[in-house]
Structure 1
Amino acid sequence: MGLQPLEFSDCYLDSPWFRERIRAHEAELERTNKFIKELIKDGKNLIAATKSLSAAQRKFAHSLRDFKFEFIGDAETDDERCIDASLREFSNFLKNLEEQREIMALSVTETLIKPLEKFRKEQLGAVKEEKKKFDKETEKNYSLIDKHLNLSAKKKDSHLQEADIQVEQNRQHFYELSLEYVCKLQEIQERKKFEFVEPMLSFFQGMFTFYHQGHELAKDFNHYKMELQINIQNTRNRFEGTRSEVEELMNKIRQNPKDHKRASQFTAEGYLYVQEKRPPPFGSSWVKHYCMYRKAAKKFNIIPFEHRSGGKLGDGEVFFLKECTRRHTDSIDRRFCFDVEAADRPGVSLTMQAFSEEERKQWLEALGGKEALFPSFNRAIIPRPEGGAQLDKMGFTILRKCISAVETRGINDQGLYRVVGVSSKVQRLLSMLMDVKTCNEVDLENSIDWEVKTITSALKQYLRSLPEPLMTYELHGDFIVPAKSGSPESRVNAVHFLVHKLPEKNKEMLDILVKHLTNVSNHSKQNLMTVANLGVVFGPTLMRPQEETVAAIMDLKFQNIVVEILIENHEKVTVPIFLRRTLLPAAWTHFPPHLPRLPRPMGPLDQTETTFLQMGVPLGIGHPLRK
């Protein structure tokens, strides 16, 4: 399991687990920084000390072999695995060079040291500065809240209102900084792979020139080098797409943070100050806790947590809520307070303090208090607004008209589908195509009024405007699974099976589109649109998760891989398969219990059926994968 994604919505909760994930990202970057620092030192030794060349190369190779990139999410792409394994390949290459005792190229400074120093200074150094600001603002924010919450409720209303405004402004500034810091942390985690490996690749390329047998070694290494260059470019392209999606999500959450709260198992959660009473004459103290409440079970969890104590979790308590009562300011010298009584602890009542009056009202609503005026903490996922595009006869007409025009006029245009048209022209064209009165009047194949880039952008916009992505929300997670693991053959089989689970109209439109994209990729020498490039363009267009989160965006690269599989294996995936037999008797014991039992087994399974069985696909007599 790699590093957990940092969700922007969690910046507003600032939970202990969110802080733990931030520290994990920071620790990984510090580890990368130390490694690069050591690698730079080794490289300089390689240049300066020719007499100790052998020792420097061995140390360098050892460092490369032992380092491994961490990734965000729960799986790597094949490109990322190759990039990760590339360091071990570089290490082996160094060992081969060491056997020949040749002199390392003096151009190492330009090809390796300077790029790594630049990356360490400009990228990792920038993250360190962001961390200092984030830590400083964290201290300032919670210190100001502490001070604010200690204000007496008996002060003048004007004074209290001014203090409230100041605290809220400071909290908003803190959230802004937190969002930026989280975005920067995740960006550098992804960027470091190609920013670091590319200088390494240049370094090894330079070494071939200066070694006695460099030419022969270069020929042996050339195939892997070309594959690695493709892997790096694919990773870079996916990074660019992912970064734009992450920034878009961050801006959405920045504008409406309450509308993007993640679905949670808790009805309410967040920080509260809990009054802890002490024996006379010590009075009482207020301790900050992270509190979580499940309304269905009336279960209340409170965990002491203080950021300034090193972020260590204290021993939590669990009790069942009996009732919640709003606390008036004339009964306590603190604002925003309420009392909760435990059902399983007779006579035990806790006084809690929220950060603001709005948050107190939200807690009262969640806990069943009297002031149930505000919406619940646990908001439902806001559905995406539906556009005018539909999977109907008009939609197929639009698709075929656009594809026909592209293949007639621009199949060899460089950057086809990557170069976007002018937004206003794209929207005008799409509006005309979607209007029954004007659709037939639009001549895309012969008219000079519509550029190819306008047509391709309109086609993509139509697909994105569908109420549901072409490959459906329901099957989104299923399509992602095979892209994360398995052999190439098993991936094709899995995608094949899932494609034939799509609704008929979705499947028909996908078939038309993928056939066209296969034709585009066949002209990649002219249009430069390889299968990987088309995957980057159409991954987010054909597939998208129902809920927008950073974790979902990190799966964007696997969406691209699914589209690549569709394009590379178009004929295999779209050909219908009819499986004639059912499971062998011995296989019934391993058959998933949640799937329906099929007719009585008969006959041995062939290789195709065995593959589907291993994937958990139920096979029955006359069971078609495509009706």
Structure 2
Amino acid sequence: SSAVQKFSQTLQSFQFDFIGDTLTDDEINIAESFKEFAELLNEVENERMMMVHNASDLLIKPLENFRKEQIGFTKERKKKFEKDGERFYSLLDRHLHLSSKKKESQLQEADLQVDKERQNFFESSLDYVYQIQEVQESKKFNIVEPVLAFLHSLFISNNLTVALTQDFLPYKQQLQLSLQNTRNHFSSTREEMEELKKRMKEAPQTCKLPGQPTIEGYLYTQEKWALGISWVKYYCQYEKETKMLTMTPMEQKPGAKQGPLDLTLKYCVRRKTESIDKRFCFDIETNERPGTITLQALSEANRRLWMEAMDGKEPIY
């Protein structure tokens, strides 16, 4: 059917998205599974369509022909028999009412007419009875043979379906194994992720992954211009071992393409609360830029994390 064909096409074109650059053998099996399903559906649907076609050619059309040719012809014979019988008995009824006083020649002519109609009705009766007999006898094979032929084609189709099932069985078993492996991997990975999430909630900085910055996140930088002061949002990454701070601007200026800025940290100190009208601020100095750079964290806890990563100091009062 069209629904099965559309479903098969959807399976054929469907693509899984996987995390990572390379796929495991199990992931490859799973990724290709829908294409295998689509091919199997197509083969099963082709067999089904063939069965429907066989039902038309082997069963429906022969029975339809028998109905039209034999039963239909018998009905025509019946009509002729009834018409001839009606004409004969009508003529016979009129003949019996003829007066004996009519001329002998007229009576003889009437007798001949009755004999002629009787013979015609007799032949029509024989034809009708013969046709009934023919239908009764021929239906024993004209009806059973098409059903037998259709059932034979159905059995062949079922055998092909069984063969398809047997051919599909090894792939099914391999796919089930891949699915089970993937499910097991998912369960173990989920446990690891839950544990990592728990550790990060308790102490975010202790969960640094290899090759990742010591700390990273959004910071606002105080920038002074001729017309005043503005706070610009950056995404910052700091590596404690190299003291490298990478600042990527999040707000691009019109007509200017700004890339990441790499700065080497010299020192870090918390900004006195009364010295600035912004909260959660701290100052840093770098080798690449003269003067002090004032940064604003997202919260008090966030500022504390940045200062701990940068070995920040408390201000001297």
Residue equivalent to 2:244: 299
SS in 2 for 1:102: helix
Q: 1:352 Cα shift? A: 0.9
Aligned equivalents of 1:236, 1:265: Cα separation in 2 = 29
Residue pair 1:361, 1:371 contacting (<8 A) in 2 also: no
**Per-residue displacement from partner, 1:422-449 (whole Å, max 9, x unpaired)?**
xxxxxxxxxxxxxxxxxxxxxxxxxxxx
Deviation at 1:297, TM superposition (A): 4.3
Residues 196 and 207 of structure 2 are in contact (CA less than 8 Å); yes or no, is this contact kept in structure 1? no
1:370 aligned onto 2:313: yes
Partner of 2:274: 330
Determine the C-alpha separation between the residues in 2 that align with 1:321 and 1:233: 50
Distance 1:252 1:341, change over 3 A: closer
| 1:94 corresponds to 2:38 | no
Question: Letter of the aligned partner of 1:353 in structure 2?
Answer: Q
Is the contact between residue 324 and residue 339 of structure 1 (CA under 8 Å) also seen in structure 2? yes
Q: Please list, as runs of the form range in 1=range in 2, the aligned pairs for 1:551-590 lying within 5 A after superposition.
A: none
The AA in structure 2 aligned to 1:354 is: A
Alignment of 1:208-227 (within 5 A): 212=158, 213-227=160-174
CA contact (8 A) 1:365 1:371 kept: no
Match of 1:371, as an amino acid? Answer: E
**1:45-96 CA-partner distances (Å, limit 9, x unpaired):** xxxxxxxx1x444433232222222233454443332222221111222332
Query: CA offsets, 1:243-277, max 9 Å, x none?
Result: 34433443444444444343455344332211122
CA distance in 2, matches of 1:297, 1:250: 27
Aligned to 1:604: none
Whether contact under 8 Å (2:205, 2:214) holds in the other structure is: no
Query: How far apart, CA to CA, are the structure 2 residues paired with 1:367 and 1:234?
Result: 44
TM-score, with normalisation over the residues of structure 1? Answer: 0.29
Q: Does 1:270 align with 2:213?
A: no
CA distance in 1, matches of 2:217, 2:179: 41
- In 1: Cα distance, 2:232 partner to 2:25 partner: 49
Q: Deviations over 1:281-325 (max 9, x none)?
A: xx322222221234454432111338xxxxxx9743223334444
- Matched position secondary structure for 2:49: coil
Matches within 5 A, 1:527-606: none
Q: How does 1:470-489 map to 2 (within 5 A)?
A: none
Does the 8 Å contact 1:79/1:231 carry over to 2?
yes
1:361 is displaced (CA, Å) by 4.3
| Mapped partners of 2:302, 2:10: distance in 1 | 51
For 2:203 and 2:294, how far apart are their aligned partners in 1? Answer: 31
1:317 to 256, 261, 276: 261
Deviation at 1:353, TM superposition (A): 1.3
Q: Separation in 1 of the partners of 2:268 and 2:204?
A: 27
Whole-angstrom CA distance in 1 between matches of 2:298 and 2:17? 37
Q: Which residue among 264, 284, 302 is the counterpart of 1:340? A: 284
- The C-alpha deviation readout for 1:378-416, integer Å capped at 9, x for no partner, is xxxxxxxxxxxxxxxxxxxxxxxxxxxxxxxxxxxxxxx
Against the structure 1 CA distance between its residues 103 and 276, is the aligned structure 2 distance closer, same or farther, given a 3 Å change threshold?
A: farther
Aligned mates of 2:221, 2:47 — CA distance in 1? 70
Secondary structure of the residue aligned to 1:360 is helix
Question: For the residues of structure 2 that align with 1:250 and 1:361, how far apart are their CA atoms?
Answer: 20
C-alpha spacing 1:252/1:103, structure 2 compared with 1 (3 Å): farther
Give the drift of 1:351.
1.4
Q: Which residue of the partner structure matches residue 485 of structure 1?
A: none
> How far apart, in 2, do the equivalents of 1:229 and 1:338 lie?
57
Other structure's SS at 1:63 match: helix
Alignment of 1:66 with 2:13, yes or no, is yes
- Is the Cα contact below 8 Å between 1:364 and 1:371 reproduced in 2? no
Is the CA contact (8 Å cut-off) linking 1:337 and 1:354 kept in structure 2?
A: yes
Q: Is the 8 A contact 1:305 1:314 kept in 2?
A: no
Indicate the SS of the match to 2:169: helix
Q: Give the distance between the partners of 1:267 and 1:215, measured in 2 at CA.
A: 61
User: Equivalent residue for 1:478?
Assistant: none
In structure 2, the partner of 1:517 is none
Q: 1:267 and 1:231, CA in 2 relative to 1: closer, same or farther beyond 3 A?
A: closer
TM-score normalised by length of structure 2: 0.52
Corresponding residue number in structure 1 for 2:93: none
Does structure 1 residue 284 correspond to structure 2 residue 233?
A: no
1:454-490 CA-to-partner distances (Å, cap 9, x unmatched) read xxxxxxxxxxxxxxxxxxxxxxxxxxxxxxxxxxxxx
State the shift of 1:333 in Å: 1.1
**1:551 counterpart residue number:** none
1 CA distance for matches of 2:214 and 2:187? 36
CA distance in 1, matches of 2:204, 2:266: 31
Instruction: Quote the sequence identity (%).
Output: 46
Matching residue's letter, 1:70:
D
User: For residues 100 and 319 of structure 1, do their structure 2 counterparts lie closer, same or farther at Cα, with a shift above 3 Å needed?
Assistant: same
Q: Give the structure 2 partner of residue 354 of structure 1.
A: 297
Letter in 2 for 1:339: D
**5+ unaligned residues in a row in structure 1: which ranges?**
1-52, 105-208, 307-312, 373-627
Q: C-alpha distance in 2, partners of 1:327/1:242?
A: 42
- Aligned-residue Cα RMSD (Å) equals 3.6
Stretches of structure 2 lacking an aligned partner (at least 5 in a row): 52-154, 252-256
Give the distance between the partners of 1:262 and 1:352, measured in 2 at CA.
25
Give the Å deviation of 1:328.
1.7
Distance (Å, rounded) in 1 between the aligned partners of 2:185 and 2:240: 41
The separation in 1 between residues aligned to 2:209 and 2:169, in whole angstroms, is 47
Task: Report the Cα offset of residue 337 of structure 1.
Answer: 1.8
Report the Cα distance in structure 2 between the residues aligned to 1:247 and 1:267, rounded to whole angstroms. 21
